[in-house]
């Protein structure tokens, strides 16, 4: 029996929760995601998403494609279709075993005609072979005999935005359906870019040999293809069968039909159970790198593991072809677009646990650099301007219009104004480099991004001769309540940091490989005057502040706005709107999400304790946390400043974002950035991990009184470091010799030895 802290459980069936659990029970492997649809209900938002397959057609902007649905399985007993919404559900338990990466269902139902049936299922999306997925079904009846009809179907009649009648759009058309015998296949093509996708599936007998070819019928109609089996059944007898699936697209290979047919034949020969065993073995290896153990708090333990499971399922090493969307591969929220969320919130998890995947995610940005250059040119700038919302080519795909909190149509400005993402990306590249020392990446990819975004900032900033300062006007910072502002502190500080680092890298690249340096200068049309200008700009960048520089002003003029502090909270502990006295929230000091506080975490060495304390105290009282990205940052800063009670509260809001649906939008997909924030809250917050200006790893941990211990692993300079934090000591081991600091004292951790450091 698997321990409770490894399971996410749904112990009652209510159809109004189907869409939420489809997200929570999504199974993904980075290549694709299958929403956790229940085969025996027609209520929900089906989703089959393959990373990197986007289409625009007649939609407002390019969006991820909802591909043909391979999960459909209809079971009839004589003329009664098993539909949980029309049957009496006598028993229901559905649970995600995160340790194995398998979704289970155990149920008993009574049909309208009185038939009592037991149904058990299990499903996995393989982490061993990303093109495969499978399900197992065990059926028994209690009070009747007759015929069971099992219909295996692939449904091509799917569309995006099925939850919004005004935006429903089908992005695929069916090219071909055919009988694989055994199995069926359906090939579709996207409307605009003509990317081909093949889904195939086959029903295979289990140990009771209930599937027999002589009872099989193949059928094709409209956009659907199916195979139907007739099975004689008897009371109190188990009938077991498997559904095996294979998926390919023209982004994988040229002949998708042959590749799929070959893989399906291999899968059938290899068998469900062997592939399942390989999948579980792969999950074991993954957990050995990513697991965080919290002893003494089962709710937190389940929560953090859920976030780690789903975040690690959202990416795989694919050579930089795709990145991670804001909603993972779990739903259509934000149209499957990639934001700054990936670099600032998700990437640290991958850098410190799966650095090869982190490298691939950063290569996506390099591979879309030409799109970033086109964005800059279109907006009247030089260099590379990374898009606020990105799909497959690096061009900005931010919608121009959307709905506000009151359901009113509003203009969406981040595509034009939320330009800090270009520095967010360079910040993430440096985070990756200092943790991995991957010089080859920095020389061949990272430096070019630093230099070309520096070119962009050089053309973006404006010189103010009165104050002898450089400014960035008409922007949106992380706090999206306030648009068209001047000199957002987060934006300006990150630009200052990025330009300073670009100047440093110019000398570093020159020293490392003069030919690479000369090639970059020729490619980007750079000379010494450019490097000097970058340095001048960063030295004279304007940073708004008050109180002798100790309280950072979020943007120029922020302190002049009407002040409103938060005093009320909802049942989930989330802030409620204070009385705005007739003003719009943009006219007040209310903040959507962490902005200044996040800046002080990212550039920790740039700010002293007093600045952090004053800014944290001030903005905590005004931050509405209307983004799931926000609580994790306050959790980390709470630990740093000793506000431990609130730190734990923010941590729990973060890890339970989807499990408790505290943002009320889990139905649209997984909060991937929040999951990255959960890892950061645990490791950077409670674990106290940071990297100082000398590029040395530091630990300054604190754990709640009722936790017995906190354990995690990280990868640092190629060494796997294991950390266990208790109230009286810290246990550390490393696979290689490494120097670290614990509570500011330096230690040399020798390989394969356990060190106990007394607090």
Lowest-pLDDT choice from 432-441, 545-554, 726-735: 545-554
Tell me what percent of the chain is helix, strand and coil, each rounded to the nearest 5: 35, 25, 40
Q: Is it the case that residue 147 has pLDDT exceeding 90?
A: yes
Q: Which two tokens stand for residue 107?
A: 């149920």
Residue of 122, 480, 483, 556 marked active site: 480
Task: Please give the structure tokens belonging to residue 339.
Answer: 């934001």
Report the SS3 class of residue 534: helix
Task: Point out the least confidently predicted range of 200-209, 237-246, 548-557, 646-655.
Answer: 200-209
pLDDT number for residue 100? 98
Confidence band, pLDDT 50/70/90 cuts, at residue 1: very low
Cα(276)–Cα(128) distance, integer angstroms: 9
Given the structure tokens 């999504």, which residue do they identify? 26
**Percent of the chain at pLDDT exceeding 90:** 90
CA-CA distances (angstroms) from residue 369 to 350, 361, 363, 639, 669? 22, 13, 10, 37, 28
List pLDDT tens digits, range 478-509: 999 999 999 999 999 999 999 999 999 999 99
Q: Is 431 a catalytic residue?
A: no
Q: Which of 69-73, 530-534, 568-572 has the lowest mean pLDDT?
A: 568-572
pLDDT of residue 727: 97
Under DSSP, is residue 202 helix (H, G, I), strand (E, B) or coil? strand
CB 490, CB 598: distance < 8 Å? yes
| Token couple for 722 | 């294991």
pLDDT in tens, 89-139: 999 999 999 999 999 999 999 999 999 999 999 999 999 999 999 999 999
3-state class (DSSP) for residue 102: strand
pLDDT at 705: 96
What CA–CA distance (Å, rounded) separates 748 from 731?
Answer: 13
Single out the residue of 602, 490, 471, 475 nearest to residue 540, CA to CA: 471
What is residue 207's predicted lDDT score, i.e. its pLDDT?
A: 60
189-192 long-range Cβ contacts below 8 angstroms, 24+ apart: 190/53, 190/55, 190/57, 190/65, 191/55, 191/57, 192/55, 192/56, 192/57
What residues are paired with 36 via a beta bridge? none
pLDDT tens profile 617-661: 999 999 999 999 999 999 999 999 999 999 999 999 999 999 999
Say what the pLDDT of residue 405 is.
61
User: What are the counts of helices (DSSP H) followed by strands (DSSP E) for the chain?
Assistant: 20, 34
Burial class (CB in 10 A: 0-12, 13-18, 19+), 166: exposed
Angle at 496 between CA 550 and CA 501, to 5 degrees: 125
Q: What is the predicted pLDDT for the residue at 162?
A: 86
Cβ count near 218 (within 10 Å): 15
For residue 3, pLDDT beyond 90: no
Among 11-25, 383-397, 570-584, the range scoring the smallest mean pLDDT is 570-584
Helix, coil or strand: residue 453: helix
What is the rounded CA–CA span in Å between residue 534 and residue 261? Answer: 56
pLDDT of residue 437: 98
Backbone torsion region of residue 53, taken as left when φ is above 0, otherwise alpha when ψ lies between -120 and 50, otherwise beta: beta
Closest Cα partner for 457 from 425, 429, 411?
A: 425
> How high does pLDDT run on average in the chain?
95
Q: Tell me how far CA of residue 558 lies from CA of 453, 487, 561, 637, 735, in angstroms.
A: 27, 10, 6, 22, 49
Residue 424, helix vs strand vs coil: helix
For residues 472 and 422, is the Cβ–Cβ distance under 8 A?
Answer: no
Q: What is d(CA 414, CA 424) in angstroms, rounded to the nearest whole number? A: 15
CB 211 within 8 A of CB 241: yes
Residue labelled with tokens 């209520």: 43
pLDDT in tens, 569-587: 887 778 999 988 889 999 9
Q: In this predicted structure, what is the pLDDT of residue 209?
A: 61
> What is the spatial distance between Cα 655 and Cα 301, in angstroms, rounded to a whole number?
9
Cβ proximity of 256 and 248 under 8 Å: yes
The reply to whether omega before 389 is within 30° of 0 (cis) is: no
Q: In the structure encoding, which two tokens stand for residue 364, read together? A: 């996506």
Task: Residue 58: name the closest of 164, 161, 191, 194 by CA.
Answer: 191
Residue 686 structure tokens:
């409670």
Return d(Cα 200, Cα 168) in angstroms, integer: 25
Ordered structural domains, the chain, with CATH: 4-289 (2.70.98.40), 688-759 (2.60.420.10)
758 CB contacts (<8 Å, ≥6 apart)?
Answer: 728, 729
Residue 213 has pLDDT above 70, yes or no: no
| 8 A C-beta contact, residue 382 and residue 464 | no
């Amino acid at each position: 029996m698997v321990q409770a802290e490894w399971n996410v459980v749904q112990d009652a069936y209510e159809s109004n929760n189907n869409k939420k659990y489809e997200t929570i029970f999504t199974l993904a492997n980075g290549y694709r995601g299958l929403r956790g649809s229940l085969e025996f209900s027609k209520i929900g938002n089906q989703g089959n998403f393959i990373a990197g397959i986007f289409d625009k057609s007649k939609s407002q902007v390019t969006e991820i494609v909802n591909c043909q649905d391979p999960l459909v399985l209809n079971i009839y007993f004589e003329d009664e279709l098993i539909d949980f919404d029309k049957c009496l559900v006598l028993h229901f338990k559905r649970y995600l075993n995160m340790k194995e990466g398998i979704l289970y269902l155990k149920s008993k139902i009574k049909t309208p005609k009185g038939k009592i049936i037991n149904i058990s299922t299990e499903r996995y999306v393989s982490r061993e072979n990303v093109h495969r997925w499978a399900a197992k079904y065990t059926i028994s009846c209690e009070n009747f005999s007759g015929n069971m009809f099992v219909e295996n179907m692939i449904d091509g009649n799917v569309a995006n935005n099925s939850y919004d009648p005004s935006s429903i759009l089908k992005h695929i058309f069916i090219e071909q359906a055919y009988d694989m015998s055994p199995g069926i296949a359906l090939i579709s093509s996207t409307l605009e870019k003509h990317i081909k996708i093949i889904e195939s599936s086959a029903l295979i007998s289990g140990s009771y040999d209930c599937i027999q070819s002589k009872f099989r019928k193949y059928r094709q109609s409209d956009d659907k293809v199916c195979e139907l089996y007739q099975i004689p059944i008897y009371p109190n007898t188990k009938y077991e069968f498997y559904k095996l699936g294979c998926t390919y697209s023209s982004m994988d290979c040229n002949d998708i039909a042959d590749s799929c047919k070959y893989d399906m034949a291999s899968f059938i020969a290899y068998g469900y159970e062997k592939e399942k065993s390989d999948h579980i073995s792969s999950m074991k290896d993954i957990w050995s790198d990513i697991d965080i153990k919290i002893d003494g708090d089962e709710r937190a333990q389940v929560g953090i593991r859920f976030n780690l499971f789903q975040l690690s399922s959202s990416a795989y090493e694919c050579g930089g072809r795709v990145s991670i969307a804001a909603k993972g591969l779990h739903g259509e929220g934000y149209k499957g677009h990639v934001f700054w969320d990936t670099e600032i919130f998700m990437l640290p998890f991958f850098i410190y646990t799966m650095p090869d995947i982190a490298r691939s995610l950063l290569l996506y940005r390099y591979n879309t650099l030409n799109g970033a250059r086109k964005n800059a040119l279109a907006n009247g700038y030089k260099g590379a301007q990374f898009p606020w919302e990105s799909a497959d080519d690096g061009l900005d795909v931010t919608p121009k219009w959307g709905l506000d909190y009151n359901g009113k149509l509003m203009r969406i400005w981040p595509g034009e104004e939320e330009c800090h993402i270009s520095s967010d990306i360079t910040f993430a590249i440096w985070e990756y480099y200092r943790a991995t020392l991957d010089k080859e990446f920095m020389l061949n990819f990272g430096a070019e991004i630093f230099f070309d975004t520096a070119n962009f900032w050089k053309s973006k900033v404006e010189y103010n001769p009165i104050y002898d300062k450089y400014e960035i006007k008409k922007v949106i910072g992380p706090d999206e309540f306030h648009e068209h502002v001047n000199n957002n502190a987060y934006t300006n500080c990150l630009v200052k940091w990025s330009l300073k680092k670009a100047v440093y890298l110019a000398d570093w690249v020159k020293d490392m490989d003069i030919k690479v340096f000369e090639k970059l200068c020729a490619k980007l049309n750079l000379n010494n005057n450019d490097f000097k200008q970058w340095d001048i700009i960063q030295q004279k960048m304007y940073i708004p502040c008050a109180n002798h520089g100790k309280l950072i002003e979020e943007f120029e003029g922020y302190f002049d706005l009407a002040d409103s502090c938060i005093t009320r909270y909802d049942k989930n502990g989330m802030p409620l709107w204070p009385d705005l006295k007739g003003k719009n929230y943009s006219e007040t000091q209310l903040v959507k999400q962490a902005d200044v506080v996040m800046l002080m975490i990212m550039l920790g060495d740039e700010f002293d304790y007093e600045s952090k304390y004053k800014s944290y105290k001030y903005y905590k009282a005004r931050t509405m946390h209307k983004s799931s990205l926000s609580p994790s940052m306050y959790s980390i800063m709470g630990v740093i400043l000793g506000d431990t009670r609130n730190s734990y509260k923010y941590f729990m809001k973060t890890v339970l974002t989807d499990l408790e649906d505290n943002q009320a939008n889990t139905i649209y997909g997984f909060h991937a950035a929040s999951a990255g924030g959960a890892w950061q809250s645990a490791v950077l917050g409670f674990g106290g991990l940071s990297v100082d200006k000398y590029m040395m790893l530091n630990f300054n941990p604190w754990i709640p009184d009722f936790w017995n211990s906190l354990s995690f692993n990280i990868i640092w300079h190629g060494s796997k470091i294991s950390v266990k934090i208790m109230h009286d000591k810290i246990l550390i081991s490393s696979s290689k010799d490494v120097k670290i600091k614990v509570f500011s004292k330096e230690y040399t951790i020798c390989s394969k030895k356990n060190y106990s450091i007394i607090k």
